[in-house]
Structures are given as C-alpha cells and as structure tokens.
Structure 1
C-alpha cells in the first residue's frame, strides 16, 4: 500500500547524494534511481502541486481566496455540530469558512469523550502522533 508517508529520515541521507538515472514510467511518474540504491517515484499530481516556478505558484494563488484580516467587528460563523455530522452541504460550508476565516464556532458539541474525534474523522483520517490520536491540553496554572 502507498501511504506517501515519509519513512526516510533526512539526517540519514548522504551529504553529496546524486541521482544515477531518472525516467518517466508508463503512469507518468518520475522515477529517480539514487547512488545509494534507493528508488524514488513521484506522482505527476504531486509534482504539479509542489512545482515552485513562478507560473505554477501564480496558478495556485489564483484559485485561493484573498486573505482577510481579523478586526474587532469580526462575527465568527456559527455551525451546529449535528448538522456538520449529518449534512454534507453544512460540512462543506463549515470547511470553507475555516479556510477563508481561519476560525469558526461549533455549537451543540456533545460533552462525551470522543465527540471531537468524531467530527475530526468526518473531515479526514486522523494521523496518530507521539501523543496518541487525541491529546487533551490542560492548563495547570
């Protein structure tokens, strides 16, 4: 299975590593054979999303909303937890608001443990960290 998760530690890479060969396979992927025997395979979609030439950057920026600064009169959009859990249109509107404003309010979130995890899973897979799937931050002041 391809997870695209980085399994190579950058500190383990030889300082002057050079590619021996680079080809494009039948699926359009860039395949790089390295001196140390490692093979890297880059999907064309990933390469396009990570192209840093001026034209590619401009294309990516053209599709993004313009940044909006927060002011004292900012009214945070409010969403209902149950609607986000049951209605794809409500979920989309919430995600767009988070993208455009950076912060929203969600009301009606159950207080039972795991409720936050459920809404996170509604968005995407939760990647576990060194602290586990969820980590409760508590102020001990």
Structure 2
C-alpha cells in the first residue's frame, strides 16, 4: 500500500489545519481555554483525559504557537496555558462547530448548552460566510484558487 503524503506539505489549508489541531482532544482543550481554563489539572478535570494525552496535546499546541506557557496569574508555583493571538483566532471555528452541533446533534427535547452574549444574555447569532460586499455565500458561490503566500 502506498504511503500517504504528509498533510503538513499539502497545498490545502483545511488539510494542514486538521493535521495541526484536528483531533478531538486538541479542539476540546482549545474550547476549554475559551471558557477560561488555564491549568493542566483544570483541563484534566474538565475533560477527563489521560495525563499523557493531555501533556502531549498541550505541548503540541504550545509548539504550534496556539498557547503560551506563563507563570500562574495568582503567583503560585504553577504554570498556565494562555491562548496566543493565533489561538484566540480559533474562536470562530469553535463557535461554528458548536452551532453545527446545536443544530444537528440533538433530538427535540434533549438538553444541551447554548452560547450567550455576556452583555445582553441573548444567544449569539449563527456564523455565516459573507462576501466582501456582505452577501451571504453558500458552497456553490465559492471556488478555490492556488496562490503563493508572500
């Protein structure tokens, strides 16, 4: 059987992104960071993940530049994992996954969480893809083009 080429050398941004953060635990760690989880033990408690898996994923996310490791904000001896600008820019991705799950992964009458705007306490609007003119775009309205990043 022929070996698949590494996704990290792919021209497809989706493939590269999935190679970097596409596993369940990485996405759940990032989700928890948006809920202000910062310490290893708190990630472990929230996720119920094995220590070795959590340590591996956090190291990878730090190496990628999604998290930085900083001394604990309370002055204790612990370190905290803090989202970088690169990590914070994943917010719309996590929200889009959440909204897709809210819509398709629950049957009527099932309990689930929703995301509210802290200021208004109103559920946030669904994320949509728009053109530069503000027109809502569907898959058939878009196409790919190869470019070289400068």
What band does the TM-score fall into relative to the shorter chain?
A: under 0.3
The higher-RCO structure (CA 8 Å, 6+ apart) is 2
Point out the structure with the larger helix share.
2
TM-score of the aligned structures, taking structure 2 as reference length: 0.19
The structure that has the greater radius of gyration is 1
Point out the structure with the larger strand share.
1
TM-score of the aligned structures, taking structure 1 as reference length: 0.20
